[in-house]
Structure 1
């Protein structure tokens, strides 16, 4: 399972690496991060990146082929739930065509839409606060409602012991073609203290591609 997680994360990082560039052109960060990318490549399964005829980004690995349909970088939208700050950095919608040996992870489907949300959670207090953005519910303007895939998402929820930060990607699977929706909404339960008393409001975050 860890290997599968690493494979999907390397594909999802098409979003994260592009978002770090600070611009709309995903190649803008190539010069500064070429050394870092080279180091990461040494420890990963062989993969290749290309562009489809339509101009979509395509990344292939042992897991399968991921075609990025749409993404939005540099969102940097911060919301608060009690002492917790949650910043949405970027979003991406892609189509994954898993290889045969990994289809069981995706209910045997030949294609699945993967929505990736890059986010950072920060506890601004000295108290231990429970907060679970990796258990978010996502809806789309096309009428879908899905829970975050906790197996494939980064572990950025749980107890935040004092002034700590957690960041990573939260992943959602759905059957709808990414071209059929343009807006998503995230619903996240409010933060709570060590006694499970709610200290922050439930969050509803509207995002557009």
Structure 2
């Protein structure tokens, strides 16, 4: 009986041992399978990474091509702007006498212009008048509300002024007085005109545009304009030049 039990015990032991070996073999096979799966997954991940890198490279190439195209477009646009500026410079003025233009201020007609005016020198002050013109305009609603009028008849003067002295001086180029052939004496309109400070430091230059609004006559009837300035002065308020008095004919 004990032998039978012993034998049975050995059988169980052998059975357990056999099961253990089978289980170990199964584990080994499972480990090999898992390793194979891991390798396959790694290969697949590597393929995905390569594909992502290729897609990124393609996107970078497309961006570079787009940047090159944009640069070429910008260069072409700049070239066109320069050509337009050159054409305006060659023609002299963008708006010719008799033409009507429209802008944010309203609709304006240019009746006359004079741009061949001798350089003016008084003491150390040099004045270059680029143009004097006569124009009329129908104002936009916003401009009409601001100026409290719907139409303007006016004289425009563009100029550059320079102090060539080695010292600071005073010259009020903004305070020109004009007299028109239609009999009006006018100061520049402070709302429409640029302001140039009368205290000019040594070696400085300034430019501006000044408008003289006609009150009793039409711009198209003005045939000439007389322009005057008081002489420049030094820091001691002494005159260092002559009064300016010129006639500009259209």
TM-score normalised by the chain length of structure 2: 0.59
Count of matched residue pairs? 164
Residue 176 of structure 2 corresponds to residue 124 of structure 1:
no
Tell me how far apart the structure 2 counterparts of residues 56 and 105 of structure 1 sit (CA, whole Å): 27
1:64 to 106, 110, 131: 106
Shift of 1:114: 2.1
Residue 93 of structure 2 corresponds to residue 26 of structure 1:
yes
**Structure whose alpha-carbon radius of gyration is higher:** 2
Asked if structure 1 preserves the Cα contact closer than 8 Å seen for 2:123 and 2:240, the reply is: yes
Tell me how far apart the structure 1 counterparts of residues 246 and 142 of structure 2 sit (CA, whole Å): 36
Query: Counterpart in 1 of 2:239?
Result: 198
Query: Counterpart in 1 of 2:204?
Result: 164
Structure 1 gaps of 5+ residues are 1-16, 28-48
Tell me how far apart the structure 2 counterparts of residues 95 and 143 of structure 1 sit (CA, whole Å): 18
**With CA pairs under 8 Å and 6+ residues apart, which has the higher RCO, 1 or 2?**
1
Shift of 1:56: 2.2
Shift of 1:196: 2.1
Shift of 1:162: 0.5
For the aligned residue pairs, the C-alpha RMSD in angstroms reads 2.4
1:87 to 122, 125, 128: 128
Asked if structure 1 preserves the Cα contact closer than 8 Å seen for 2:159 and 2:207, the reply is: yes
Shift of 1:26: 3.4
CA deviations 1:23-61 (Å, max 9, x no partner) are: 5x635xxxxxxxxxxxxxxxxxxxxx8x9xxx7222222
Shift of 1:177: 1.0
Shift of 1:76: 4.0
Query: Counterpart in 2 of 1:113?
Result: 153
Asked if structure 2 preserves the Cα contact closer than 8 Å seen for 1:94 and 1:115, the reply is: yes
Tell me how far apart the structure 2 counterparts of residues 166 and 156 of structure 1 sit (CA, whole Å): 7
Tell me how far apart the structure 1 counterparts of residues 118 and 210 of structure 2 sit (CA, whole Å): 15
CA deviations 1:1-26 (Å, max 9, x no partner) are: xxxxxxxxxxxxxxxx99x7365x63
Residue 200 of structure 2 corresponds to residue 133 of structure 1:
no
Structure 2 gaps of 5+ residues are 1-84
Asked if structure 2 preserves the Cα contact closer than 8 Å seen for 1:187 and 1:202, the reply is: yes
TM-score normalised by the chain length of structure 1: 0.70
Q: 1:202 to 1:104 in 2, by over 3 A?
A: farther
Query: Counterpart in 2 of 1:145?
Result: 185
Shift of 1:174: 0.8
